[in-house]
Amino acid sequence: MHRYIHIHNFIVIAFTLSLIFISAEKSAVSSQYNGFIIKSPLVPLSQIYHGGPPRDGIPSIDQPRFIAAHQETYLRDSDRVLGLEGTEQDKAYPVRILNWHEIINDGDTLISYCPLCGTGMAFKSVDSNFGVSGLLYNSDMLLYDRETHSLWSQILGQAISGKRKGQYLHMLPLQHTSWANWKENHPDTLVLSENTGFSRNYNHTPYGNYATSTSLYFPIDSKDRRYHPKEMVIGLHYKGIYKAYPFIELSKMKQASFQDSIAGDKIEVRFNSEHRSGNIYLSTGKPIPSLTSYWFAWYAFHPTTEVFTYSD
């Protein structure tokens, strides 16, 4: 009889301790991941890193103000912008501002920029408002939606944990180009004002020479040394196929555009070597959403990618 009492007590104690350990583990996870409880994510939990700032320590711009191109006085022609063609109004979002904020909630449009990966992306976000989680996967920012606190991978455009896990955002075509090039082709554009409501030095980048160095701040899953890790590429995901167009290869082309094919479909690649920008279009002229990013970032997410190389 005493034997069974001891066994019963042992089971109770073990169960109680397991609850304590589980609670402690949840608390540790919550602290380690900026308060996010991450359960069964779509990416390895061990590869999600704390980037340094707390949740919303990099503040998103939730009430963006815009001015007409002819009113703008703070941008240089060489400054990089993310250009979005709208049905009613074209808009430019300067990278020098995005370096400090990373996310702009512009109505039903989400503009995101990860300085560590050089990736600017636009999505339709009809029913969500997004913030900067302060967490990274493959050195790329993880966004979170403020409705469900689900975590989203920017490059994947997918929720990797939380209530919306597995859902995708609708990616929009975006031009990553110079301010001179954008305003020349879109003279009626609006441009994000530096009057953001935050006190930041938009004439200074907080990342120093990161964009030209070979160093990475955080571990990544896959590496490839064919190109400088910060070589810019146009990355295309089309019908399940990934393909990268490195700028160093595109710069060797004698023409500004050329025909290529992917998944059996003909596409047109347009590249402006002067302004270091490029986009991809279907044969109908319709733009295909593509991603301009550092080579290391594209490869880390898509190690099976095809790569365009120049050939005479």
Q: Quick: pLDDT tens for 151-177.
A: 999 999 999 999 999 999 999 999 999
Strands 291-294, 232-238: pairing kind = antiparallel
Domain around 56: 49-192
Average pLDDT, the chain: 90
Indicate whether 15 and 65 sit together in one domain: no
The residue to which tokens 């295309």 are assigned:
236
Longest dimension (CA), the chain: 91
Q: What percent of the chain has a predicted confidence (pLDDT) above 90?
A: 86
Indicate whether 132 and 153 sit together in one domain: yes
**What pTM value is reported for the model?**
0.89
By the 8 A CB rule, do 168 and 157 touch?
Answer: yes
By the 8 A CB rule, do 132 and 105 touch?
Answer: no
Is 84 within a domain?
Answer: yes
pLDDT band at 30 (very low <50, low <70, confident <90, very high): low
At 260, list the tokens.
Answer: 């290529």
By the 8 A CB rule, do 279 and 287 touch?
Answer: yes
Indicate whether 55 and 147 sit together in one domain: yes
Going by C-alpha positions, the residue among 71, 126, 117 that lies closest to residue 98 is 117
Can you give the pLDDT at residue 81?
98
Indicate whether 97 and 119 sit together in one domain: yes
Q: How far apart are CA 271 and CA 287, in angstroms?
A: 13
Going by C-alpha positions, the residue among 161, 185, 167, 165 that lies closest to residue 175 is 185
pLDDT band at 27 (very low <50, low <70, confident <90, very high): very low
Q: How far apart are CA 67 and CA 149, in angstroms?
A: 32
Is 207 within a domain?
Answer: no
Strands 91-94, 190-192: pairing kind = parallel
From residue 90, give the alpha-carbon distance in Å to each of 98, 127, 185, 189: 18, 22, 10, 5
Indicate whether 116 and 41 sit together in one domain: no
191 in helix, strand or coil? strand
Indicate whether 149 and 239 sit together in one domain: no
Indicate whether 165 and 273 sit together in one domain: no
Q: How far apart are CA 266 and CA 247, in angstroms?
A: 20
Can you give the pLDDT at residue 86?
86
Can you give the pLDDT at residue 127?
80
Q: Is 201 exposed, middle or buried (0-12, 13-18, 19+ CB in 10 A)?
A: exposed
Instruction: Count structural domains, the chain.
Output: 3
Other C-beta atoms closer than 10 Å to the C-beta of 251 total 11
Is 199 within a domain?
Answer: no
Indicate whether 171 and 242 sit together in one domain: no
Q: Quick: pLDDT tens for 114-133.
A: 999 999 999 998 788 999 99
Indicate whether 53 and 186 sit together in one domain: yes
Going by C-alpha positions, the residue among 202, 198, 201 that lies closest to residue 62 is 198
Query: What angle is formed at CA 263 by the lines to CA 257 and CA 266, rounded to 5 degrees?
Result: 30
The b/e string for 207-216 (b: 16+ C-beta within 10 A; e otherwise) is eeebeeeeeb
Indicate whether 13 and 91 sit together in one domain: no
Is 144 within a domain?
Answer: yes
Is 206 within a domain?
Answer: no
Can you give the pLDDT at residue 312?
64
- Given phi > 0 = left and psi -120 to 50 = alpha, else beta, which region is 44? beta
Indicate whether 63 and 33 sit together in one domain: no
Indicate whether 72 and 29 sit together in one domain: no
Q: Quick: pLDDT tens for 174-226.
A: 999 999 999 999 999 999 999 999 999 999 999 999 999 999 999 999 999 99
Can you give the pLDDT at residue 18?
38
Going by C-alpha positions, the residue among 278, 274, 275 that lies closest to residue 308 is 278
Is 219 within a domain?
Answer: no
Q: Quick: pLDDT tens for 65-101.
A: 999 999 999 999 999 999 999 878 999 999 999 999 9
CB within 8 A of 284, min separation 6: which ones? Answer: none
Q: Where is the domain boundary, 192, 217, 249? A: 192
Q: How far apart are CA 98 and CA 76, in angstroms?
A: 16
Is 116 within a domain?
Answer: yes
pLDDT at residue 227 greater than cutoff 60: yes
Is 222 within a domain?
Answer: no
